[in-house]
A and B are shown apart, each in its own frame.
Chain A
Amino acid sequence: MIDVGRFALAISFFVSIYVIVVSLIGVLKKDVRMVASARRGIYAIFFLSSISVAVLLNAFFTDNFQVKYVSHYSEISLPGYYKFTGLWAGQEGSLLFWIWGMAMAVALVAFQNRKERDHRFLPYAYAILMVIYAFFAILASFMTNPFDLFPANQIPADGNGLNPMLQTYGMIIHPPALLWGYVGFAVPFAFAMAALITNELDPLWIKKTRRWTILSWILLSAGNILGSEWAYAELGWGGYWAWDPVENASFIPWLTASAYLHSVMIQERRGMLKVWNMFLVVVTFVLTIFGTFLVRSGVLQSVHDFGVSEMGPYFLTFMFAVIAASFYLIYYRWNDLKSDNQLESFLSRESTFLLNNVILLALAFATLWGTMFPLISEFVTGEKITVGPPFFNQVNIPLFLVLLIILGICPLIGWRKATAENLRKNFILPGVLAIVTAIALISSGMRDIYATLFFVFSVFVTVTIYMEFHRGVRARKKLAGEGVLKALGSLLWKNKRRYGGYLIHSGIIMIFVGITGSSAFNVEETQTLGVGEGLKIRDYTLRYEKIYFHRESNYDSATAVLTVLKDGKKQGIIEPEKRRYDKYAEEPTSEVAIERSLKEDLFVILASIHEGDKVTIRAKINPLINWYWIGGIVAFFGGLYVLLPEYKRKEEAEA
């Protein structure tokens, strides 16, 4: 059975080579049958990689510990849903999962375009996607094969178990979202390169990949947010983002992809920024490979990495080959990538989009620079250093602030040319409300400059978004004679891209508010308590009632029971827990207890247990933190809304 998985994976590699060859022959000889054969080859690859995944999953669920990978990441008593997550818990399995995601994406692309025969760039796009697939398949088949077996006389009776920190519900969604986000960016990259090769540089390749780009962006966003939720609920330090190299590795392509999603609008509307968009597509894809490299090479220390492996040089070679080939193609088509139009005014939405791109790229550069700086510094000075949160906070906060300001200014400035009068009119309300907010915050005692600025500009941006909706509803009321709700409904339905975009911006504002509140105004207290004693933190008192111990399938647990009193009134019971997993007895974990509200979280950790049932409790209040998660959800659904089919006017639909 295991051999079936191994062979399916190896055969899929050879089929990918076949697809590359027949795609290229098909397009060069203009043989449609060859291209059709390539497409069927792509479906076969998806089928083969699905078999490999199914075989590995079966090995997990049947506790087949002869498979080294299964024995490393599973055990008999591991709950079923965590056996499922074992698929992406380690180097080999996650690489197989990456491959499967890639095969699925390419199969979907082939299926979507099965009736397209007029575009030469499609077979090239298939070939490029298959080159990427082949690279990963060769690594998985011949370097880190998830189907490697123990000799028959050395099969362990039970596995090592899954790392306790990975035994959390977040593990079910977070890694797949990130991995599929990474995979998805291969599609716009392949189409962009194919457009360059064939010189079919009209916006068709952008239209064909728009949904892929947005979907990948949504998945990457969801992956990042879910990752921070995992850190918050599982790592037990009360924070959610540690500027860890691997976190950064998924954040950097998110930034460049966000820049691309904005600047590509200018190309679609005005035929401008073609070179820039090509550059962003390439950079985003290369950064996804870079992220994969960071996790898998062990060059930088991280709580996420898979340890040192020999794959680093292969990833680096692949990355540099991609960069060299892509930039050569851009250079080769430089003249064909010239803009169709020129800017009519400095003060236009196009300019603000460019400015937004500069800031997003500056953030990406600063984060990449900080992530790689330990290596650079060691190379230059010979001394190892660490670049941690204080560095990133100092460098990135000002850039985030400017990004926030641009988020507000952008919708106030029209496409092509804005007049001074329009600007004045559009800026008055948000400007005044921002000033009022500033006065209110300062007079209420807020002295933190950054926090004040972030709140003030969040209000500014929120008002500009509201104004956009208000203007649209008013126009529909006037022109179509609709009521407010119907006008709002029509507005949202008929302009999904625009208003979905504003929903995403609203989500981003909420995220900024959540970060600001929880960072600037959190408080923390630690205290050792005997039964009946209380820990006081702001207006809460945590009264320690008792501790009880129990046994689950694969761990022992100790749970402290604390009564939460707020202003002296009982609010409820909170139960932080400590676990000691059988297979990781030397690494006890904390299961935090969180009392959530829109105003703040009461975050309680059972830090240690002492003789006489005494416990040390660490409590933290994180104000406004839940707006971070809510913002993530709003941005996620805003993104999904943008993905819905575009509304077509009657005459367009008939045409």
Chain B
Amino acid sequence: MMKNRLHKIIFSLVSISIIAGIHGYLDVPQKVGLSLFSKGDKCSPIFCGLNSGVPSIPRLAYADVQGEVEEALICQCGCGIVLKHCPHQDCGYAIPARKYIAELVKEGKGKDAIIEIFVKRDGQKALAAPKKEGFNLLGYILPFIALLGAAFFVSRVLKSWTSRGMREEEKVLEHLPEDKGSELDKKIEEDLKKLD
């Protein structure tokens, strides 16, 4: 019963991570840094301040597209950071690129179209993360395949250890008079308590 329970725990946890991974795969949060989550439009009042009397200033729609594009592209100056956050104040790549994106936005081009223009111009390396197609798909799924394999391997190892451990314990107990067995158990328990 215990075995099944642990099996369930292991596979539930692995499943959570895989399902969550697939969720992430389907809905890509194109954000920078350790921005673990997609930023929702609705914010919990716990964090936003319940009694805010100051309305947020209206922003032009293109500013959002600009930000999204800049977060989906990597600066090519060598800093390795997304275009929006290149730390170089006079960056020879980021500054003209941002201007160019702004022009494209004003022309009415959407996020995907602008990103495609940059990919055509600079190649796939312009993207902050590779497209999920062809060989690059392997990049996204291999960690989860490895996790699944590792979880399966560990559960097999645990199973073999446990059954061997149980068999050995039974053998020892079979050859011990009952009172000695309980004395032994007590001693082990005491020792473990000391360790704990």
Whether A449 pairs with B150 at a CB distance below 8 angstroms is no
- A245 to B79 Cα, complex, angstroms: 11
With beta carbons under 8 angstroms apart, the residue of B29, B35, B57, B129 that contacts A386 is B129
CA distance A473 to B195 in the complex (A): 18
Does B143 have its Cβ within 8 Å of any Cβ on chain A? yes
Pair B140/A355 contact, Cβ less than 8 Å: no
In the bound assembly, the distance between CA atoms of A415 and B188 in angstroms comes to: 12
Closest to B148 in A: A362
Encoded as 1 (CB less than 8 Å from any B CB) or 0, chain A from 185 to 219 comes to 00000000000000000000000000000000000
Interface residues on A, range: 35 or more
A552 at the interface (CB under 8 A from B): no
| A102-110, A176-184, A325-333, A377-385 - interface stretch | A377-385
Kindly state whether residue A370 has any CB partner on chain B within 8 Å: yes
Residue of B nearest to A580 (CB): B89
Report the nearest A residue to B16, measured CB to CB.
Answer: A402
The reply to whether B20 and A521 contact each other, CB–CB distance below 8 Å, is no
Hey, what's the 0/1 contact readout for B1-45 against A, CB within 8 Å counting as 1? 111011101100110111111011100111111111111101111
Contact: B125 with A238, CB < 8 Å? no
- Whether the pair B140, A394 counts as a contact (CB closer than 8 A) is yes
Of the candidates A238, A401, A540, A624, the one whose C-beta lies within 8 Å of that of B54 is A540
The answer to whether B25 and A521 touch across the interface, beta carbons within 8 angstroms, is no
B61 beta carbon closer than 8 Å to chain A: no
Q: A380-B135, A394-B24 are in contact. Are A450 and B37 (CB under 8 A)?
A: yes
**Which of A238, A386, A395 is the one whose CB lies under 8 Å from B143?**
A395
Mark the stretch among A24-32, A144-152, A343-351 that contacts chain B. A343-351
Q: When chains A and B are docked, how far (Å) is the Cα of A587 from the Cα of B128?
A: 24
Q: Give, as a whole number of angstroms, the nearest-CB distance from A520 to chain B.
A: 4
> Which residues in A have their C-beta under 8 angstroms from that of B81?
235, 237, 242, 244, 303
Q: Which of B100-108, B109-117, B161-169, B175-183 contacts A (4 or more CB under 8 A)?
A: B161-169
Q: In the complex, are the beta carbons of B147 and A390 less than 8 A apart?
A: no
Q: Taking chain B's interface residues, is the majority helix, strand, or loop, or is none over half, making it mixed?
A: helix
B interface bracket (residues with beta carbon within 8 Å of A): 35 or more
Residue of A301, A391, A401 touching B17 (CB-CB under 8 A): A401
CB <8 Å contact, B136 and A355? no
Residues of B within 8 A of A365 (CB): 143, 146
Given A346-B5, A359-B17, A384-B124, 19 further pairs, Cβ under 8 A: A165-B87, A237-B84, A242-B81, A269-B192, A342-B162, A346-B3, A381-B135, A383-B125, A385-B130, A390-B31, A394-B24, A395-B21, A402-B14, A405-B16, A420-B2, A449-B23, A451-B36, A521-B47, A539-B54
> Which 9 A-B pairs give the minimum distances between C-beta atoms?
A342-B165, A239-B33, A237-B85, A398-B20, A366-B143, A241-B34, A394-B24, A388-B128, A346-B6
Residues of B within 8 A of A (CB): 1-3, 5-7, 9-10, 13-14, 16-21, 23-25, 28-40, 42-49, 51-57, 59, 63, 67, 72, 74, 78-82, 84-90, 123-130, 134-136, 139-140, 142-144, 146-147, 150-151, 154, 157-159, 161-162, 164-166, 168-169, 192, 195-196
- 27 A-B interface contacts by CB (under 8 A): A235-B85, A237-B85, A238-B85, A244-B80, A300-B80, A342-B164, A355-B9, A358-B147, A358-B151, A365-B146, A369-B142, A384-B124, A386-B127, A389-B34, A390-B29, A393-B24, A393-B36, A395-B144, A398-B21, A401-B16, A405-B13, A405-B16, A444-B45, A444-B46, A447-B42, A520-B40, A539-B54
Residues of A within 8 A of B (CB): 165, 235-245, 269, 300-303, 339, 341-347, 351, 354-355, 358-359, 361-362, 365-366, 369-370, 373-374, 377, 380-381, 383-391, 393-395, 397-402, 405-406, 409, 415-416, 418, 420, 441, 444-451, 454, 498, 515-517, 519-527, 535-541, 567-568, 578, 586-590, 599-600, 623-624
